[in-house]
Structures are given as C-alpha cells and as structure tokens.
C-alpha cells in the first residue's frame, strides 16, 4: 500500500474483531498505530501481536464516550508527532426491538456509536488541519444504510455517521482532510456473537448467510484492505464516499 510507512494512526476499538485486523495491517505497512480502547487488555494483546511482528504501536485506555479521556490520549500521542490517519471503529450494540428499549439504552448506544466518533473528530481534526490534512475512515454499518430489525437506535447512529462524514468531507476538503466510510455487513466478531445470541442468534446467522449473495458472514480480515487503501496515496482524490463490505447483502445504485 503506497504511502503508509511512518504514518501516525489513531484507531479506536483496536482490541478486538475488525479493529484488531485493521491495526495489524497498518503496522505491517510500517505505520505507527495508537489503539484507543475501553478494554485495555484487548488493546495490549493487539499491541503484543504487532510488536511480535516487529511493528510499532501503543495502547491507550480510552472510553470514546468520554471527551476528557480522548483529549488526554490524543495529546499524549501527538507528543510523538501529528496524527495522519484516524479510524473510528469502536462500536457497541445489542439486538432489542425499539419498543422494548428505554432512554437509558438509547443513551448508551448513542454515546458510543455517535458521540464517540464526533468527539474523536473534534479532538483530532484541529491537529490535522494545522498539519495540512489527513485521512479519516469511519466504520459505520450496512444497518445505517438500509436499517436492521432489532437495531433501531444503532442504525440511527450508523446512518448519522454516514451523513456526518459527507458533511465533514465537504467542510474540510480544502484543508486537505479526506473522510470516507466503510460499512460492514454481518461480521464474525465478538460483537456479532454478543448481538446474535443463543438459538435465535444461530437462526439469524444462518438466515443472513442465505441472504448474502457470497453466502458467508464477513471476516475481520475482509476490512484492512479497503481501510488501508482509503488511507493510502492511491486514494488521493476520494472523499465523502461510503463503501459496503458485505458480500453483496446490500447494493446501492
């Protein structure tokens, strides 16, 4: 991948699933990766995997719904140099029909999946602008494009991230900041296992596999290629775009 060696990357949720897979690829490409994760053990495990492969990375314990924690960690990482790339990947979800949810549940989902990425943009963008530009890749979800039963509030957040990204891409294009979105479909990760639980979960997973034209769930390894491409020199004229990685489950004209 062109141009990633030596780049400084902040990646949220790199302690598990899709984020871990992306972190490992950035490190392989020679980037210096800061993992912001609520689960420091998961973050440290990823760091160890990167260090074993002679890569460069640091884990920070950060709850992305807490702006003060974000600011402290961004300032600590920026001491080593400006941030070139931000990947907003951390997310959280549970499957509950909308009428069964309450305001406390909405708040938790919105704090992590909407406020979290907003805080991250707000904390990192001033440095990027000052430095002449940067790349932001936001991990949304196909649920944010087409909706998903049992995931009303999560879908609202993920849809919000898509339109937010387009707007920020417009506002900051002339400052050299490019913002794009990757939408996973159902992906075999700890989050998917927590959302699709028990017999019902197994039936949901089987139904999804039948509905996906490529007849399988996504794997975390399906994401680093597109994310690193969007962060690379090869994507130098791409901004405000949304790409689904879901085996054809959703197709958009």
Question: Active-site positions?
Answer: 154
* Closest of 102, 243, 128, 234 to residue 180, by C-alpha: 243
When the beta carbons of 189 and 239 are compared against ligand NAD, the nearer one is 189
When the beta carbons of 29 and 151 are compared against ligand NAD, the nearer one is 151
Is residue 114 helix, strand or coil?
helix
| Residues facing 34 on adjacent strands | 10, 58
When the beta carbons of 39 and 71 are compared against ligand NAD, the nearer one is 39
Residues 6 or more apart in contact with residue 25 via CB below 8 angstroms: 224, 225, 227, 228
CB neighbour class for 23 (10 Å; exposed up to 12, middle 13-18, buried from 19):
buried
- Rounded to the nearest whole angstrom, what is the least distance from the CB of residue 148 to ligand NAD in the complex? 9
| Residues facing 85 on adjacent strands | 9, 135
Give the CA count within 13 Å in the CB-facing half-sphere of 191: 23
- Rounded to the nearest whole angstrom, what is the least distance from the CB of residue 124 to ligand NAD in the complex? 15
What distance in Å separates the CA atoms of residue 74 and residue 71, rounded to the nearest whole number?
A: 5
DSSP 92: -
When the beta carbons of 236 and 251 are compared against ligand NAD, the nearer one is 251
DSSP 111: I
- Rounded to the nearest whole angstrom, what is the least distance from the CB of residue 21 to ligand NAD in the complex? 8
Of all helices (H) and strands (E), which one includes residue 243? strand 242-245
When the beta carbons of 112 and 156 are compared against ligand NAD, the nearer one is 112
The encoded tokens of residue 18 equal 């899709």
Q: Within a 10 A sphere around the Cβ of 145, how many other Cβ atoms?
A: 20
What distance in Å separates the CA atoms of residue 30 and residue 18, rounded to the nearest whole number?
A: 19
What distance in Å separates the CA atoms of residue 17 and residue 215, rounded to the nearest whole number?
A: 20
- Rounded to the nearest whole angstrom, what is the least distance from the CB of residue 129 to ligand NAD in the complex? 24
The residues binding ligand NAD (CB under 6 A) are: 12-13, 15-19, 37-39, 42, 62-65, 89-93, 112, 116, 139, 141, 184, 186-187, 189-192
- Rounded to the nearest whole angstrom, what is the least distance from the CB of residue 24 to ligand NAD in the complex? 13
């Amino acid at each position: 991948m062109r141009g990633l060696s030596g780049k400084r990357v902040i990646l949220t949720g790199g302690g598990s699933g899709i984020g871990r897979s992306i972190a490992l690829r950035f490190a392989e490409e020679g980037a210096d990766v800061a993992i912001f994760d609520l689960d420091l053990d998961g973050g440290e495990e990823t760091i160890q995997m990167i260090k074993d492969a002679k890569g460069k990375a640091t884990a920070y314990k950060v709850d992305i719904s807490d702006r003060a924690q974000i600011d402290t960690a961004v300032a600590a990482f920026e001491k080593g140099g400006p941030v070139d790339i931000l990947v907003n990947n951390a997310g959280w979800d549970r499957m509950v029909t909308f009428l069964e949810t309450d305001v406390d549940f909405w708040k938790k989902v919105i704090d992590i999946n909407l406020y979290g990425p907003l805080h991250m943009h707000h904390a990192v963008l001033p440095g990027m602008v000052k430095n002449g530009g940067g790349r932001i890749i936001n991990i949304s979800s196909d649920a944010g494009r087409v909706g998903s039963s049992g995931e009303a509030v999560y879908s609202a957040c993920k849809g919000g991230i898509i339109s937010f990204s387009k707007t920020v891409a417009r506002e900051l294009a002339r400052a050299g900041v490019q913002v794009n979105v990757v939408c996973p479909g159902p992906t075999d990760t700890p989050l998917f296992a927590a959302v699709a639980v028990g017999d019902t979960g197994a039936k949901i997973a089987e139904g999804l596999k039948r509905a996906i034209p490529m007849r399988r769930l996504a794997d975390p390894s399906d994401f680093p290629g597109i994310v690193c491409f969007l962060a690379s020199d090869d994507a130098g004229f791409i901004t405000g775009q949304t790409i689904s990685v879901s085996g054809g489950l959703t197709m958009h004209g």
